[in-house]
Amino acid sequence: MILVSVGTQLPFDRLVKAVDDWTHLRGRKDVIAQIGPSDYLPKALDYFPFMEHDRFFELQSRCTVMVSHAGMGSIITALELGKPIIVLARDHTRNEHRNAHQSDTLRQFAKFPGIYAARDEDHVAELLDTCETMTAKPSIEATAPREFIDRLAHYVQDEMVPSRRARLMAMLRRSR
C-alpha cells in the first residue's frame, strides 16, 4: 500500500494530482491519501482530509512506501519505521507555503537512506514507477539522542532559576 500525506494546514494540489494521475495511469487500487485542505479532488485515490494521530500512525506502519510533502512529521516517522519515502517540497513561490523552509529541509534530509527527494511532479511519477525496488531500514531511535535529552534536563533542573517575580509571588503565598 502507498500512503500519501500533505499535512493539515495548507493545500498541496501539485503532489495530490501527481500521485492521482500516476495511480490512474497504472490502474493501482492500493493508494491512500491524506490531502488536508487541498482543492484538487482525486479521481483514482482513496482520500480523506485528516486523521487522528494514532490511526494515521497505524496506516504508516502498514504501508510499503510513503509519499509526502517535506514535513518533519512524515520524514521522522519514515526514518523511525524504516519506510522508503518520496518527498516533494512545497514551493513558496507557487503559494504552497509561507516560506522556503521545505526545500531547505529536503536538501538536508535527502542524504538519509530511504529518503527519495523529488524535483517536481514528473519526478514523483518516475520515482513511483521504481517504488517496488526502493529499500529502507529503521535508521533512528524512537526518542531523541540521550545527549540532547540530558543536556536539556540539566538546563531545566540546574541552570534555570525562577524569575524574580515568581520568587516574590511564592514568598507572598507563603506569608499569607
Contact 69, 102 (CB under 8 A): yes
Q: How far is the CB of 153 from another protein (least distance, A)?
A: 4
- H or E element, residue 172: helix 164-175
Residue closer to another protein (CB basis): 26 or 138? 138
Asked if residues 129 and 86 have their Cβ atoms less than 8 Å apart, the reply is no
Shortest distance (Å) from residue 58 CB to another protein: 13
| Interface positions with another protein (CB under 8 A) | 7-9, 52-54, 70-77, 79, 98-99, 101-102, 104-105, 107-108, 140, 142-145, 147-153, 155-157, 160, 162-166, 169-170, 173-174
| 24 φψ region: left (φ > 0), alpha (ψ -120 to 50), beta (else) | alpha
Closest CA to 140 of 81, 87, 80, 66: 80
CB of 56 to another protein, least distance (A): 10
Measured from the CB atom, the residue of 75 and 128 that comes closer to another protein is: 75
In angstroms, what is the minimal distance from the CB of 20 to another protein?
Answer: 22
End-to-end CA distance of the chain: 64
Give me 35's grid cell.
490531502
Of 119 and 167, which has the nearer Cβ to another protein? 167
Q: Which is nearer to another protein, 134 or 140 (CB)?
A: 140
